[in-house]
Amino acid sequence: MLLGITENLQESTRLDVKKHIGLATVSTLIAFLIPFVLYALFYFNVAHSKSTFSADIQEPVAKVVTGTGIGSAFLVNPTTLLTARHVVAKNKVGDQVDLYFEHSKNQTHIKATVRYIAPATEQADDEGGVKADYFLSDVAVLEVSAIDDIEPLVLGESDAVQNLDEVILIGYPGGDYSITKGNINSDKFSGLNLFKLDATANPGNSGGPCILKADNTVIGILVGNRTTAQQGDNISLKINDVKKILRVAKINF
């Protein structure tokens, strides 16, 4: 009787061992094959890697042509665009400017009305250049008839941005479309509450969005570049400060 029980236990143990060996073999084989399967999927375009960059962020950025210069602006709701004050400095509220959405599906060219120009606290320094303080309120608002086929950019939180965070600049330097990337070098410029960037920018980029690459939200407006800023740095007005200016002016963004 005991012998029979012992034999049954031994047989059960052997079956368990075989079962575990089989499972281990299958698991090892699967782990070995997974890299080859994934490689084949990507190689034959069955699967695609996901990039953090979205082409959608290009559509809402427009070239601004004022008659005396060129800058950039970006859509924040169907009827409102933000830009830099100095882009429309030679205009007044109520004037019209031309907008070109070169990366929209419809290549839209429309007229925009200057709705708001933030007052400037500083104009020029002793050498005829622009004082850094000027950029603290360097924002203007353009108004258009409702645009339904372009998704506006989302305004983020500049207070959450850290040094070395990667950013994307989109605009029209010299009138030609450009997209560049770089990093936040400092959250202060000349001791002021402005972002200092190492992303490439040139005249015409002004008024374009400074976009946080991690989530594609706007964390600033490009306001200075190597021709206007000190020390050859590109600078951005922080979007939280822009929001404060717009709230005071009762501008819906």
Task: State the pLDDT at residue 200.
Answer: 85
Report pLDDT digits (tens) over 98-123: 999 999 988 789 999 999 999 987 65
Of 111, 134, 108, 138, nearest in space to 210 by CA: 138
What is the spatial distance between Cα 224 and Cα 234, in angstroms, rounded to a whole number?
A: 5
Retrieve residue 167's tokens.
Answer: 């950013």
Task: State the pLDDT at residue 130.
Answer: 73
For residue 206, pLDDT over 60 is answered with: yes
| Tokens 């953090």, located at residue | 52
Query: Is the Cβ–Cβ distance between 211 and 167 less than 8 Å?
Result: yes
Task: State the pLDDT at residue 155.
Answer: 97
User: Which has the higher per-residue pLDDT, 190 or 23?
Assistant: 190
Task: State the pLDDT at residue 207.
Answer: 97
Retrieve residue 158's tokens.
Answer: 């500049």
For residue 247, pLDDT over 80 is answered with: yes
Report pLDDT digits (tens) over 159-183: 999 999 999 999 999 999 999 999 9
Task: State the pLDDT at residue 21.
Answer: 55
Of 148, 67, 80, 71, nearest in space to 112 by CA: 80
Question: Which of 73-87, 102-116, 125-139, 197-211 is modeled with the greatest confidence?
Answer: 73-87
Query: Is the Cβ–Cβ distance between 180 and 168 less than 8 Å?
Result: yes
Residue 126 neighbours by CB under 8 Å, 6+ apart: none
Does the domain formed by 55-248 have CATH 2.40.10.120? yes
Identify residue 192 by its one-letter amino acid code.
L
Of 31, 161, 14, 154, nearest in space to 82 by CA: 154
